[in-house]
Structures are given as structure tokens and as C-alpha cells.
Amino acid sequence: MARDFFTMDDFDLSGRTVLLRVDINSPIDPGTGALLNDARIREHLTTIRELRHSKVALLAHQSRPGKDDFTTLEVHAERIGALLGRPVRYVSSLFGRPAIEAIEAMRPGDVVVLENTRFYSEEEALADAKLEKMAKTHIVQRLAPHADYFVLDAFAAAHRAQPSLVGFCEVLPSLAGRVMERELTMLGRAVQDPARPKIALLGGVKADDSIAVARHMLEQDLVDTVLTSGGVANLFLDAAGFDPGAATTDFMRREVSDYDAHRAMCKELLEKFRRRVLLPSDVVLNDRGEREAIPVSMLPAKLPIYDIGLDTIARYVEQIRRAKTIFFNGPAGVFELEPFSVGTRELLAAIAEADGFSIVGGGHTVAAVEQFGLQDRIDHVSTGGGALINFLAGKELPLVTALKRSYKKFGKTAK
């Protein structure tokens, strides 16, 4: 397949200043600020190491405004340095004077980590604006003159059109980094495979994204069945008339923007695709740290839902065994707490054993895969969550579009 975007093979980047946009959005302990998992950081090491003769200014985001893990990138910089075995400087500025001075002071081999791009209002306010407009933001206009190339490696954010992700592609020759390149190649292969049944297991708390994806995949017949768990299932259960109870819905209302509208969407999907959307038949409540399983018919519950129950696990495992292609995005429960890791662990273990081609993705999901030591038994562990699913649903990803535009614009500058 002919490539219509640049990769790191197309330019000699030695001695040059490179803006490297990665996605190292990682689980962080809100209490201590400690990094709970560095899987995404480790993924990007290939790209960072390959740039060891360049001057690298690294851009990234962490979480979203208002969330309790919305923090600076200081711990990320420390971890990158520890993994590379050399100091990596963190600057608490994205495009202010300290950032520019740090970039100008770099020597080949240096890596500077700039501040969380989402601390700056342009990043969110101009999301989805026209590329030309994003190229005119302060983020782009202040940084681009100090760089020679933009390396876009943030596959996990490939579905987010935000200035720090796509704005530079208009003004600098922009190349896919190694993570981006590998993901596009692997996922492209999976999508073209016509084998059926195809199933999608959607969990986690980013339920708003997952619902849109479920709808697209079902309507376009890209999967035969959607199996819900985690926060996604809580919303679907509510839509199906099983009120989870205030302890769960209060949490969901904080996590999902416009909860009622999303619940209405779930209801519509359930009416339209009744047999193709599976809901948990039992859930596990958190009773002072202990599992308390109940059938969904016993909802609402005073205690919060923390996992799916054994009956649900058995039903889902059966579907996993029969599937030819399996997509898994978002954990089935609060797997970080041992007693509530059962659902996520059993589903992932079944996927690891299944004959079907398996694609697993999402920041927290990858952390779970690693926690259970299953990473080598899954066909492709993607760095992407929403990006992965959007790609698999056949949607054009804004970051890929931007890379293609940059290729057309700067085509003559390649070596």
C-alpha cells in the first residue's frame, strides 16, 4: 500500500530541532500524583531513541480539565529520563519564554518536556476548528519558528483535532513517528480481514465516546455484537430500566458529559439493536472493599458497582471463544483494586486464549493487560483507546488527515 504521509525514514533529522507530539496520557494516583503505569511512555521510547542525534522538544497532554488526574508533565519527564538513562528536562511552560529558551539551549541528544498542552485554553477551545485556524494559535505560532520538523507520534489521540496535535502540520514538514506508523499498519490489516463474527467489548468510564462508537459499529455492521461492561454498562443498564442506584449514577454523572442525553442514546440503541447489545446480567458491588454480587434485577443498590459478575463473565467468554475478530476497549471494572479485577482479568485471559484475531487498546486497558502479564498473548496491544475504535469504525482520523496534508504541502522537502 502506497504511503501518503511522511515517516521518519523520509528526512535526515540529525542535529535538527524536532517538536515531538506524543500521547503519554497515563493513569496517575490523584492523591500522591504518582504515575501508576508507564506503558505509553515506554511505547514512545523507540521514537525518542531514534531521535538521539536531534534536539527534541516533547509535547503531550495529561487527562482533561476538571479531572483529578489533570496534572503537569513533571512525573512523565522524570520517568522518560529514568527509562532513557539520561536527564530529561521538564519546563513548566508550553510556549512562554522559559519554553523557548529551553528549546534554543538544547544540544543534539537533549530532550525537553514542555507543559501539559491542555493547561492552555486554545487547545480545548479551538478543538475541531479548521486546520488553518489551529495553525494560527499561539501554541503553533510561538513554537514552530524554533523547530525544523514536527514528528506526530500520538496515535492514541489521533481522533482529537487540537492545535498541538494537528496545527503544526500546516507550517512544518510533519512525519509519523514509529508508534503512529506501526499502529496504522497493524490496524489496517485487522480491518481488512473479512472473517466473522466480529465482536467489540466496550467498558471503562469514557462512556460517552464508547456509545458513539457502539452506534457507528452497529449501524455500519462493522461488528456483530457489542458486549458492555464497566461504566459503559452502567449507562446502558440505566437506559434499560435497571437504575444502578445513586452511588453509581452520581459517579457516572461526574464522568460523562450530558449523562441524560447519553442515556437516551443508549435507549435508542437498545431498541434498534436489542439482540446485538449485551448487558451484564449480574454486577458486583463494593461493600467496604469486599465483593458483593447481585443480579441486575436487584438494582438499584446503595453500594457502588465495581465489577461485572460471574454469570456475565461466563456469557461474554462464550462470545469471545466463537469470535474471529475481537476488539476490547475499556476495563470491565475497577481492576486496580484486586477484589474487583476479576471481570477484566477473566475477559482478557479469554481473549489471550481465543483463536480470533485480538486487538486490545486504551490507556487503562493496556495497564490491565500488563498487570495480568498478558501482553505477549494478544495479537495487537494498541496505545489507542478512542483513536483505536474510531479507526476500526472506518472513520478518518484528524491526525492522519493532517499528516497527509503536510505530505502534499512539503513533499519536495523530503530527502
For ligand 3PG, the closer of residues 103 and 156 by Cβ is 156
Q: How far is the CB of 280 from ligand 3PG (least distance, A)?
A: 24
Q: How far is the CB of 86 from ligand 3PG (least distance, A)?
A: 26
Q: How far is the CB of 310 from ligand 3PG (least distance, A)?
A: 30
For ligand 3PG, the closer of residues 49 and 64 by Cβ is 64
Q: How far is the CB of 160 from ligand 3PG (least distance, A)?
A: 5
For ligand 3PG, the closer of residues 309 and 361 by Cβ is 361
Q: How far is the CB of 118 from ligand 3PG (least distance, A)?
A: 8
User: Distance between CA 331 and CA 394 in Å, rounded?
Assistant: 23
Which residue ranges make up the site for ligand 3PG (CB under 6 A)?
23, 25, 64, 156-157, 160, 363, 385-386
The alpha carbon of residue 28 and the mean position of all alpha carbons in its chain are separated, in whole angstroms, by 15
Q: How far is the CB of 76 from ligand 3PG (least distance, A)?
A: 12
For ligand 3PG, the closer of residues 356 and 398 by Cβ is 398
In SS3 terms, the chain reads as CCCCCEECCCCCCCCCEEEEECCCCCCECCCCCCECCCHHHHHCHHHHHHCCCCEEEEECCCCCCCCCCCCCCHHHHHHHHHHHCCCCEECCCCCCHHHHHHHHCCCCCCEEECCCHHHCHHHHHCCCCCHHHHCCCHHHHHHHHHCCEEEECCHHHCCCCCHHHHHHHHCCCEEECHHHHHHHHHHHHHHHCCCCCEEEEECCCCHHHHHHHHHHHHHCCCCCEEEECHHHHHHHHHHCCCCCCHHHHHHHHHHCCCHHHHHHHHHHHHHHCHHHEECCCEEEEEECCEEEEEEHHHCCCCCCEEEECHHHHHHHHHHHHHCCEEEEECCCCCCCCHHHCHHHHHHHHHHHHCCCEEEEECHHHHHHHHHCCCHHHCCEEECCCHHHHHHHCCCCCHHHHHHHHHHHHHHHHCC
Q: How far is the CB of 298 from ligand 3PG (least distance, A)?
A: 33
Instruction: Give the max Cα distance, the chain.
Output: 66
Q: How far is the CB of 66 from ligand 3PG (least distance, A)?
A: 11
For ligand 3PG, the closer of residues 146 and 364 by Cβ is 364
Among the listed residues 183, 168, 147, 173, the one whose alpha carbon sits nearest the alpha carbon of residue 47: 183
For ligand 3PG, the closer of residues 48 and 367 by Cβ is 367
For ligand 3PG, the closer of residues 83 and 127 by Cβ is 127
Among the listed residues 245, 312, 318, 239, the one whose alpha carbon sits nearest the alpha carbon of residue 278: 312
For ligand 3PG, the closer of residues 146 and 160 by Cβ is 160
Instruction: Point out the residue whose Cβ comes nearest to ligand 3PG.
Output: 25
For ligand 3PG, the closer of residues 102 and 332 by Cβ is 332
Q: How far is the CB of 26 from ligand 3PG (least distance, A)?
A: 9
For ligand 3PG, the closer of residues 229 and 286 by Cβ is 229
Q: How far is the CB of 64 from ligand 3PG (least distance, A)?
A: 5
Burial track 360-378 (b if 16+ CB lie within 10 A, e otherwise): bbbbbbbbbbebbebeebb
For ligand 3PG, the closer of residues 231 and 385 by Cβ is 385
Q: How far is the CB of 194 from ligand 3PG (least distance, A)?
A: 28
Among the listed residues 390, 387, 340, 348, the one whose alpha carbon sits nearest the alpha carbon of residue 365: 348
